[in-house]
Amino acid sequence: MPSDDSTPVHARSPDGPARPTLGSAALDPDVDTAKAVERALDLYLEQRLREAEALDPRFADDVASRVRTFALRGGKRLRAQFVWWGWRAGGGDAAGTGWQSALRLGAALELIQTCALIHDDVMDGSSLRRGAPSLHVDFAEDHERSGLRGDHAAHGRASAILAGDLALAWADDLISDVDCSPSVRKRIHTLWRSMRAEMVAGQYLDMYAQADSSSSPDQALRIALLKTSLYTVERPLELGAVLAGADEATISPLCSAGRSAGVAFQLRDDLLGVFGDPSATGKPAGEDIRSGKLTYLTAVARSLTEATGDASAQRLLNQALGNAAMSQADLDGLCELLERTGARGMTEAEIDRLLRRSEEELLRADLPSAVQNRLSALMSIPTKPVRTLATPGTG
């Protein structure tokens, strides 16, 4: 692999291969995948920040350092974990060679996620991310504190877009540096291109559905597939398995399992957006409702109220969706409606159905028990109680 100093530092024992280190402690990616990937990401970003400082100190301090801080601040590292366990499922040996490339591939996924979150917050006008000000808000507040001329909010949005672009460029650079054979590299680049296009398509369809007041549960599921499922679970699993040189008999059921689980992650995200505790999700409750986004939860609620002819419930839904000034009391009333109509229950039932299908596909892959158990645990996250667990799908 390329010999720049973004490569993870390693410790080697007489009995085993090198391991990434965090400080003086060796890390086993099988035991703590998230921390091992985070260490690889940290060291890669240190190198990119030094390059930015050499280019221009203002750019480095204002933009590059913010991207680095954002990428390293919180998050479950789910995409990176799916890359690692896709690699293990494909035959990658944690006691052999190639695991550094798997960690770097996971780090690249974390950077493209950084881009997606920064841009998503700009598009949605979200003020919080992971319990802290969104990047465009942070830029705007800094602009105002510094006494700079012009529109603070406009400067914040424009700066955040550039920061997201930088994160995407760094992700692409890191993908190009992953050490693998030419044939595997070609397949990884093909998957990477597909994933980027799917992400943009999902985001656009999400915006378009919001603009044309779409209320179809099927369209909500289509958006969930493109916006979250593919790049959160299926593509990371596939990228990891391809890196390991897995055959189609392993890759196909892995992808099927990941697709179902990924949609379940988005449906749970929909529930968290309404019912979740902001202290756990890191974002205000009801943002999707106030912005009028199409979610499976609200689409099902519309369908149910239309089927039963519940005019008062339909009026409440119409008044709430897209109402930026909706109060907490109004949100509480909407939550009660979503419970009473059965929309929440149907969404939870769909999550359960998707996860059962995911588990069936995972069994079909015929994986080693340790890998099977770890992937099963990761894919079952959407079954955790909504009020007590932070959002896993897009944050």
> Which CATH number is 361's domain given?
1.10.600.10
Residue whose C-alpha is closest to residue 283's, from 145, 165, 391, 168: 391
> Are 204 and 335 contained in the same domain?
yes
> Are 171 and 250 contained in the same domain?
no
In this predicted structure, what is the pLDDT of residue 262? 95
Domain assignment of residue 129, yes or no? yes
> Are 298 and 346 contained in the same domain?
yes
Domain span at residue 51 reads 1-73+99-178
* E strand or H helix that includes residue 13: none
Task: Compute the distance between CA of residue 122 and CA of residue 42 in angstroms, rounded to an integer.
Answer: 25
Cα 30 versus chain centre, distance: 21
> Are 186 and 226 contained in the same domain?
yes
Report how many domains make up the chain. Answer: 2
> Are 189 and 157 contained in the same domain?
no
Q: What is the pLDDT along the chain (395 residues), one digit of tens a residue?
A: 332 333 333 333 333 344 454 443 567 899 999 999 999 999 999 999 999 999 999 999 999 999 999 999 877 899 999 999 999 999 999 888 889 999 999 999 999 999 999 999 999 888 888 778 999 999 999 999 999 999 999 999 999 999 999 999 999 999 998 889 999 999 999 999 999 999 999 999 999 998 887 889 999 999 999 988 999 999 999 999 999 999 999 999 999 999 999 999 999 989 998 988 887 777 778 888 888 889 999 999 999 999 999 998 888 888 888 888 888 888 889 999 999 999 999 999 999 999 999 999 999 999 999 999 999 999 998 776 555 433 334 44
Task: Compute the distance between CA of residue 178 and CA of residue 195 in angstroms, rounded to an integer.
Answer: 17
Domain end, chosen from 144, 178, 212, is at 178
Which position has the token pair 């940290």? 42
Contacts of 315 (CB under 8 A, 6+ apart): none
Q: Name the packing angle between helices 99-124 and 152-177 (round to 10°).
A: 160
> Are 129 and 190 contained in the same domain?
no
> Are 263 and 208 contained in the same domain?
yes
Domain assignment of residue 311, yes or no? yes
In this predicted structure, what is the pLDDT of residue 298? 93
> Are 149 and 195 contained in the same domain?
no
H helices of the chain, where? 33-55, 57-59, 65-72, 78-89, 99-124, 135-145, 152-177, 182-211, 217-224, 235-244, 248-275, 278-281, 287-291, 296-308, 311-320, 328-340, 343-364, 369-379
Domain end, chosen from 178, 193, 212, is at 178
Domain assignment of residue 209, yes or no? yes
Domain assignment of residue 38, yes or no? yes
Domain assignment of residue 85, yes or no? no
> Are 392 and 249 contained in the same domain?
yes
Domain assignment of residue 91, yes or no? no
In this predicted structure, what is the pLDDT of residue 385? 59
Task: Compute the distance between CA of residue 37 and CA of residue 31 in angstroms, rounded to an integer.
Answer: 12
Residue whose C-alpha is closest to residue 84's, from 390, 389, 370, 381: 370
Domain end, chosen from 159, 178, 197, is at 178
Q: In what order do the strands lie in the sheet with 19-22?
A: 10-11, 19-22, 25-26
> Are 209 and 320 contained in the same domain?
yes
